[in-house]
Amino acid sequence: MQKRGQALIFLFIGLVAVAACLVYYFNYYQPSHPKNPSNSGNSSDSSNPQNSSSNSTIQNLTISDKYINVTQLHWNHMPLTYKILNESLCTGIPIDELNNAMKLIESSSNNTIKFVKNNISADITISCYDLDDVLNKSTVICKNFSVEWKKNAFNAKKENYIPNSSFVLSETQIVRNDTLTTYQACYVDSNLANGALDESKIITEGNIITNATMNIYVFGDDYTRCSDFPNKEVHQLLHTLGLDHSEEPRFHNVFGWGVINFRYEEDVMFQYFSCIHQKDIQLKYDECLQYIYTNGLQGQCAKVNFIK
């Protein structure tokens, strides 16, 4: 009887020891555990220095990630800092519109997103350009395209009449007769403008955004602004947060987008700008930004596209 009791005690002690070892292993020796950042990677990773360094960068970013529950593309911290290059050129309306767009995004995220200016070290680098000046230094190409007479809608880029990298200055109907309608499209090749005509860009490590660039422009003849909603600035800032363009409806050969559904054109992340239709940040973006920057506590990211 006594022996049986002793055996049970040894068995109990043995089980406690095994449990303690398991707890210790999972807490301190799991390679990916944040508590042990120096123990990064496994043997196959360390055989490839590039992999190892990239993995450890991702691991470091993940360790400091305030939004660890979120799988979607996101920044790992708040507030986001930004600096403006060539700022004096954009003083006035362009910077007012940028500030307005930032405030709209902050409030639509329920103030979980915050933009703070920091000219020394910045997450987002915003470059100011005089658009007229950029275009004057570029080669403007104007081409005429004759289409079926009944065609009412024309989108040269969408319909592959001009390259996808084109920065479109104007599209106008110049002739219409019983057989043909002629449209003129004027554009420049954005690939030749040293980034001055590019959309916002992000740099990522895994699902974390580490850097972003964006352009703003001096109000000029070639840059139209919407009077009641800064749709272009909001659109570009949402790109810096990792959001991609919204779904496109099929472009109707005769009637364009509108006949299919205005909802597509109302989306601030629609690829083509429209002052008439784009008046607000849609609820799906409000909810998605809140989801990400509350670390998944509220909201959702349904029907939102992320940059791949």
| Cβ distance to Zn ion smaller for residue 183 or 223 | 223
Shortest distance, position 245 Cβ to Zn ion, whole Å: 5
Q: Which of residues 31-90 bind Zn ion (CB under 5 A)?
A: none
Q: Give yes or no for residue 247 binding Zn ion (CB under 5 A).
A: no
| Cβ distance to Zn ion smaller for residue 145 or 306 | 306
Phi and psi at residue 91, to the nearest 5°: -60, 140
Give the bridge partners for 215, in sequence order: 127
Shortest distance, position 269 Cβ to Zn ion, whole Å: 7
Two tokens at 65? 């990630």
Q: Give yes or no for residue 148 binding Zn ion (CB under 5 A).
A: no
Shortest distance, position 244 Cβ to Zn ion, whole Å: 8
| Cβ distance to Zn ion smaller for residue 100 or 271 | 271
| Cβ distance to Zn ion smaller for residue 199 or 247 | 199
| Cβ distance to Zn ion smaller for residue 148 or 199 | 199
Nearest to 97 by CA among 274, 234, 268: 234
Shortest distance, position 113 Cβ to Zn ion, whole Å: 18
**Full 3-state SS string of the chain:** CHHHHHHHHHHHHHHHHHHHHHHHHHHHHCCCCCCCCCCCCCHHHHCCHHHHHHHHHHHHHHHCCCCCCCCCCEECCCCEEEEEECHHHHCCHHHHHHHHHHHHHHHHCCCCCCEEECCCCCCEEEEEEEHHHHHHCCCCEEEEEEEECCCCCCCCCCCCCCCCCEEEEEEEEEEECCCEEEEEEEEEEHHHCCCCCCCCEEEEECCEEEEEEEEEEECCCCCCCCCCCCHHHHHHHHHHCCECCCCCCCCECCCECCCCCHHHHHCCCCCCCCCCCCCCCCHHHHHHHHHHHCCCCCCCCCCCCECC
Identity (one letter) of the amino acid at 227?
Answer: S
String of contacts with Zn ion for each residue 159-198, x by CB under 5 A: ----------------------------------------
Q: Which of residues 266-305 bind Zn ion (CB under 5 A)?
A: none
Size of the site for Zn ion (CB under 5 A): 1
Q: Give yes or no for residue 199 binding Zn ion (CB under 5 A).
A: yes
| Cβ distance to Zn ion smaller for residue 96 or 199 | 199
Q: Return the residue nearest Zn ion (CB atom).
A: 199
| Cβ distance to Zn ion smaller for residue 130 or 267 | 267
Taking contact as CB under 5 A, which single stretch among the options 16-24, 121-129, 199-207, 291-299 is the one that binds Zn ion?
Answer: 199-207
Start-to-end Cα distance in the chain: 69
| Rounded Cα distance, 12 and 5, in Å | 11
| Cβ distance to Zn ion smaller for residue 76 or 231 | 231
Residues that bind Zn ion (CB under 5 A): 199
